[in-house]
Amino acid sequence: MLRAALKGILAHKLRLLTTSLAVTLGVAFMAGTLVLTDTVGRTFDQLFADIGEGVDAVVRSTESIDTGFGFTQRARIDKNVADLVLTVDGVAAVSPEAAGFAQIVDRDGNPIGGGQGPPTLGFAWPAVDEVNPLVIVDGRPPVGPGQVAIDNGVASSADFVVGDTVTVLTQAGPGEFEITSIVKFGEVDSPGGATMAVFALPIAQQLLLGDAQQISEAYVVAEPGVSQEELTDRLGEVVPPGVEAVTGAQYIQENQDAIRQGLSFFNTFLLIFAIVALVVGAFIIYNTFSIIVAQRSREMALMRAIGASRRQVLGSVLIEAVVVGLVAAFVGLAVGIAFAIGLRELLVVAGIDIPATGLVVAARTAIVSLVVGVGVTVFSAVAPARREKSIPPIAALRDVAHDESSSSAARIVSGLVVLALGVGLLLLGLYGETGNDGPLVGLGILALFVGVFVLGPVFARPLSAGIGWPLPRFRGMAGTLARENAMRNPKRTSATAAALMIGVGLVSFITIFADSTKASIDQLVDDSFIGDFVIDSGSFGFGGLSPDLAPRLDELPEVGVATGLRFSVAEVDGSSTFLVGIDAARAIEIVDIGIVEGQATDLGAEEIAVLDRVAEDNGWTIGSTVPVRFVQTGTVDLTVAVIYENGALAGDYVLGIEAFEANTAEQFDAQIYVVRAPGTTAEEARAAITPIVDEYANATLQDLTEFKEAQSAQINQLLNLIYALLGLAIIIALMGIANTLALSIFERTRELGLLRAVGMTRSQMRSTVRWESVIIALLGTFLGFVIGVFVGWLLIQAFADQGLSVFRVPVTQLVVIVVLSALAGVAAAILPARRAARLDVLKAITSE
């Protein structure tokens, strides 16, 4: 039986190839993702090991807040701690660190990196050689004000050499520096693509921390013979309260763990798309095996008739599935490794730069690829195989069975149950407090797809008829036959369309979600902004606009009010949250956060404004005390002075500028809002503002229309990345359509021969296949739209109180998707149509 099965497979090499391909691509994506993240992970491991090399202990603040994605914000410490540490027995040297945001500006005045690009690091030149990972390529270390060392990556890309003058943006505003040195980071030009600006310690303290009395942390080198643990224990005894000492090994480990955590988010993000591709592949395998089983029923029945047991017949199908799965897994793994390189390029194009050295192919990657490849294939083939098992030997006497059944009561009921389950999971994920919102929503969407897949045969016939309705009118008999062919086997048509439905459903859902977000932002800006201009840093958290800028603009006679908006991280109730800092009394003239109770002017050094929903959840009213834990100042009790309702703009908590500055270390404006002075035209205001803004390379001056466009552009960038990732699922679905058509054509050989004999031309034959393909593609698109619009609508409803106030279906984009789907259908039909047209008429009509 095994030999018979293997012979059968070899007899259909092309089918083996196309069927395997459906799973191969999904496996390749998954393997590629794993290889990529492993590789990036190892690169960072190496990087942090290099940074920590020679560091025996780190002295730092005990206060820290986890800001998510593996990032931790830690309080600064007094610089005297470094002097104190130096007196400890066994300490050979101490290197104080002062690190923060420093963005290098290129010769054309454009900031390098930052925003969604690579991080822009500024830090102090290490005082101790043992802990210094920097390698001088050219020049001398910076020692005084106005001196900087930059990394070799920036130096070569922006064409800087030692002795050049460069502008660097810091918290203290833009500054001109002489490049005294160009450095490598260990062996690489720049660590992980980040840019580096290195200053002498006092300069770094001043520019990056804004406080010459503080340092970020201090690296300690032990004397020979003193172990890291011993050193750390001794340090622990002398450091003041709020300061701790950890071993160099722990420090490296923490950094590595943190980046792994950030990578795992990235990994999950990519794996979701790999899973989507695999689900689509599974649908195609299921469909292909169903068709193969139907076509082979005669052969199989014959085997049953001559004595093969049902188990043997089932086995032969499963053997084929295993072979297909193995081929898919091995090829997928190989392609995936190549894919990892391509994926990296794709991300670079999308603006997410990640470093990569040698590829890391872990054993885990190979095992997972193998298990998933074989698993998905066999799982998808089991149902069709079981059907084959039940073929009675008498079927040998019949013609190839045409399964035209479509709507049994059991099918309708189970389909509706799965749909209901999907909606339930979605609602639970969106509104329930389970802490597993993402997976629940994902499973819910999957269940919707499966539900529609199960119900597909019920409505595939009427929908195909509807979609193909105009065909007979403008494509004559070829159109009529295309429509009839799409309708003749609703199970097959719907299963084929379902694969495309998944890709299109996700694309339309993402498109609708993104478009609604854009519409919501537009509405928000229109409703809440009284101002004329927004100056945007493109940054959200790390760095931003120097706090000097807003006051300078404010002084201009053409400007009525210019005030900034800052972000910081703090903990309320044990969970970290973003805090917004504004000069409330002034900002209220420009932005409307929808104050429900209290007055903006009430926000002083000890007050806080809270979103109405958050206040309600916590039972806070005006005058309530809210304990907020800041990184720098620890837990501070603030009094609720204002309750507002516009959370989309201001988030959950807002501090007045006094309270913000008192409790947070870094002072950057993420955005500055400007309203022009009365009697000044927009042009005049812009003319006055522009030269000042131009001094700050990372500041972008936008009027409200430009601001809205810029926000849309940011969303589009992410959207394009997601489109590219979903593109794979769509390509796989198209191969599924091609596969189905090819198998159908094989099955209809006699019929096609007859058509050709009685006068159908080759081009009419191609047209018939092509339009059948288009109908299937449009059916999948339609089903995808239904799910996409529904899920999009559901999600917008769920996020309504977080600012997604508008549900907008982008008709133009959806029309584009329909047109592209139809074209994709045409493309999928090219090879099958050619095969049908080339059919040997005589053989076809005389074959048994």
Partner 1 sequence: MSVAEPTAPPTVAARAVAASKLYGSGATEVRALDAIDVEFTSGRFTAIMGPSGSGKSTLMHCIAGLDTLTSGQVFIGDVDLSGLSERQLTTMRRDRIGFIFQAFNLVPTLTALENITLPIALAGRDPDAEWLDLVISTVGLGDRLKHRPSELSGGQQQRVAVSRALASRPEIIFADEPTGNLDSNAGAEILGFMRRAVDEFGQTIVMVTHDPLAASYADRVVYLVDGRIVHDMAAPTPEGIIDMMKSLELGHH
Q: Smaller CB distance to partner 1: residue 480 or 802?
A: 480
Task: From 66-74, 271-279, 372-380, 761-769, give the range in contact with partner 1 by CB under 8 A.
Answer: 761-769
Contacts of 510 (CB under 8 A, 6+ apart): 719, 722, 723, 726
Q: Is 755 in the site for partner 1 (CB under 8 A)?
A: yes
The dihedral built from the CA positions of residue 693, 697, 699 and 705, taken in this order, carries a sign that is positive
Q: Is 678 in the site for partner 1 (CB under 8 A)?
A: no
Q: Is 762 in the site for partner 1 (CB under 8 A)?
A: yes
Q: How far is the CB of 759 from partner 1 (least distance, A)?
A: 2
Report yes or no: 30 and 278 within 8 Å, Cβ to Cβ.
yes
Q: Is 842 in the site for partner 1 (CB under 8 A)?
A: yes
Exposure letters 659-688 (e unless 16+ CB within 10 A, then b) = bbebbbbbbbbbbbbbbbeeebeeeebbeb
Q: Report the residue from 80, 705, 761, 797 that binds partner 1 according to the rule CB under 8 A.
A: 761
Of 663, 661, 649, 642, nearest to 572 (Cα)? Answer: 663
Report yes or no: 776 and 496 within 8 Å, Cβ to Cβ.
yes
Q: Is 836 in the site for partner 1 (CB under 8 A)?
A: no
Task: From 257-265, 366-374, 557-565, 755-763, give the range in contact with partner 1 by CB under 8 A.
Answer: 755-763
Q: Is 754 in the site for partner 1 (CB under 8 A)?
A: yes
Of 771, 779, 777, nearest to 824 (Cα)? Answer: 777
Q: How many CA atoms lie within 13 A of 549 on its CB side?
A: 36
- CA dist 676 and 689 (Å) reads 10
Each residue 712-751 as x (binds partner 1 by CB under 8 A) or -, in order, gives --------------------------------------xx
Q: Smaller CB distance to partner 1: residue 424 or 466?
A: 466
Report yes or no: 844 and 752 within 8 Å, Cβ to Cβ.
yes
Q: Smaller CB distance to partner 1: residue 311 or 843?
A: 843
Q: Smaller CB distance to partner 1: residue 574 or 759?
A: 759
- CA dist 830 and 770 (Å) reads 7
Q: Smaller CB distance to partner 1: residue 190 or 764?
A: 764
Task: From 95-103, 786-794, 818-826, 839-847, give the range in contact with partner 1 by CB under 8 A.
Answer: 839-847
Q: Report the residue from 135, 757, 815, 816 that binds partner 1 according to the rule CB under 8 A.
A: 757
Number of Cβ within a 10 Å radius of residue 811: 9
- CA dist 711 and 715 (Å) reads 6
Q: Smaller CB distance to partner 1: residue 621 or 846?
A: 846
End-to-end CA, the chain: 25
Q: Smaller CB distance to partner 1: residue 561 or 839?
A: 839
Q: How far is the CB of 738 from partner 1 (least distance, A)?
A: 21
Q: Smaller CB distance to partner 1: residue 316 or 496?
A: 496
Q: How far is CA 760 from the centre of its chain?
A: 50
- CA dist 41 and 264 (Å) reads 9
Task: From 373-381, 505-513, 754-762, 790-798, give the range in contact with partner 1 by CB under 8 A.
Answer: 754-762
Q: Smaller CB distance to partner 1: residue 80 or 847?
A: 847
Q: How far is the CB of 7 from partner 1 (least distance, A)?
A: 27
Q: How far is the CB of 471 from partner 1 (least distance, A)?
A: 13
Q: How far is the CB of 758 from partner 1 (least distance, A)?
A: 5
Task: From 342-350, 431-439, 511-519, 753-761, give the range in contact with partner 1 by CB under 8 A.
Answer: 753-761
Q: How far is the CB of 477 from partner 1 (least distance, A)?
A: 4
- CA dist 495 and 289 (Å) reads 11
**Site residues (CB under 8 A) for partner 1, limited to 397-416:** 402
Size of site (CB under 8 A) for partner 1: 25
Q: How far is the CB of 840 from partner 1 (least distance, A)?
A: 10
- Angle (CA) 820-822-827 rounded to 5° is 90
Which tokens sit at 198? 């290195």
Task: From 195-203, 462-470, 757-765, 775-783, give the range in contact with partner 1 by CB under 8 A.
Answer: 757-765
Strand partners, 90: none
Q: How far is CA 646 from the centre of its chain?
A: 27
Q: How far is the CB of 771 from partner 1 (least distance, A)?
A: 13
The long-range contacts involving 67-71, CB below 8 angstroms and separated by at least 24 positions, are 67/541, 67/569, 67/576, 68/576, 69/261, 69/262, 69/265, 70/257, 70/258, 70/259, 70/260, 70/261, 70/262, 70/263, 70/265, 71/258, 71/262
Q: How far is the CB of 768 from partner 1 (least distance, A)?
A: 11
**Site residues (CB under 8 A) for partner 1, limited to 763-802:** 764
| DSSP letters spanning 557-613 | TTEEEEEEEEEEEEEETTEEEEEEEE-HHHHTTTB---EEES-GGG--TTEEEEEHH
Q: How far is the CB of 509 from partner 1 (least distance, A)?
A: 35
Contacts of 2 (CB under 8 A, 6+ apart): 315, 319
Q: How far is CA 460 from the centre of its chain?
A: 34
Q: Smaller CB distance to partner 1: residue 595 or 760?
A: 760
Q: Smaller CB distance to partner 1: residue 475 or 686?
A: 475
**Site residues (CB under 8 A) for partner 1, limited to 432-491:** 476-477, 480-481, 484-485, 487-488
Q: Is 634 in the site for partner 1 (CB under 8 A)?
A: no
Q: Which residues bind partner 1 (CB under 8 A)?
A: 402, 476-477, 480-481, 484-485, 487-488, 750-751, 754-762, 764, 841-842, 845-846
